[in-house]
Amino acid sequence: MKRILVGDIGGTKTRLALAEGEGTAVVLTEVRTYPSLHYATLELVLEEYVTQVGFPVEGIALGVAGPVSGQRAQVTNLPWVVESAALRQRFGVQCILLNDLEAVAWGLPALRGDELFSLQEGVPSEGNRAVIAAGTGLGEAGIHWDGTRFHPFATEGGHTSFAPRTEREIALWRFLQARHGHVSWERVVSGMALPELHEFLRAHEHSSIPAWLQAALEGASAGAVLAQAALEATDPLCVELMHWFVRLYGAEAGNLALKVMSRGGVYVGGGIAPKILPLLRQPGFLESFVDKGRMRPLLEAMPVQVILTDQVALYGLALAARSSRIC
């Protein structure tokens, strides 16, 4: 594999690197992260990166948090439009665009054992796989097994309609529907969802917010503050919030697993999962994952693993670029 520039383009941050390797092995160098909202366009991020590290590459492969059509993408949670033709003209090399979760799916073969944590051993077998990843938003992808090889494909499953299961979740749906109209799974399972979930839960439980937590929420990423308060058990409502979040996450992971028929395994990625691994290891996630009535035995047989590295999409972009023969 010749050296290429790979980039994971997210609503919160953009991660760029140079990639090389052979087979399914990928070696990344010059890995750098940029705050996406600080830049008007992706081209400005790429230009800054090239200025910093040089540009000895044979191609560019980018994973974009949003639907890709005709090698053009509108980033869902950013005002960026990305076009491979424009990037090819600007930088003088071939460029491919993938949905960011499709890139994660491409990257699974490159993962080492220490980059995965098993939540459920299941009954490992060949078959389709599924990837779900809560970060700024909620991404989902599938991997079709044709009997010989895997074929990753993108979806926008995170934007399907949220299905409440309890009286409290019905109340949450009404709360969010009044604000947003359509209530997607991304509205309840993502980093950007956590502040609204917390706001709803405070009102629903008639709970006030401690002064120290209010101050912390004003000075940093609200989702990260709420999750940390739960992990450290410094606020009971935050503990309840994150246990609920994990159950919601498991429920939608199970929905995706059934739709893809992922006998080959379900992979939980994104920026949130490794940070809340102690919560995912508790019963709530898997209880919701398998709670599908008559389909429970099918889901209990599916391996479920958490992706621990934040570089899997970069691995996948490198492998996809090689498969597409741009380098």
**Model confidence pLDDT, tens digit, residues 115-146:** 999 999 999 899 999 999 999 999 999 999 99
Per-residue pLDDT, 28: 96
| Cα(124)–Cα(146) distance, integer angstroms | 17
Mean pLDDT of 301-318: 97
Lowest mean pLDDT among 69-78, 224-233, 251-260: 69-78
Mean pLDDT of 287-307: 98
Number of other CB atoms surrounding residue 150 within 10 Å: 17
| Cα(253)–Cα(199) distance, integer angstroms | 24
By CB atoms closer than 10 A (0-12, 13-18, 19+), residue 161 is exposed
| 2 to 47, 91, 148, 237: CA distances (angstroms) | 21, 17, 26, 51
Per-residue pLDDT, 218: 86
The pLDDT-based confidence of 325 (bands split at 50, 70, 90) is low
For the record, the structure tokens of 326 come out as 């741009």
Per-residue pLDDT, 326: 57
Is pLDDT above 80 for 4? Answer: yes
pTM of the predicted model as reported, rounded to 2 decimal places: 0.94
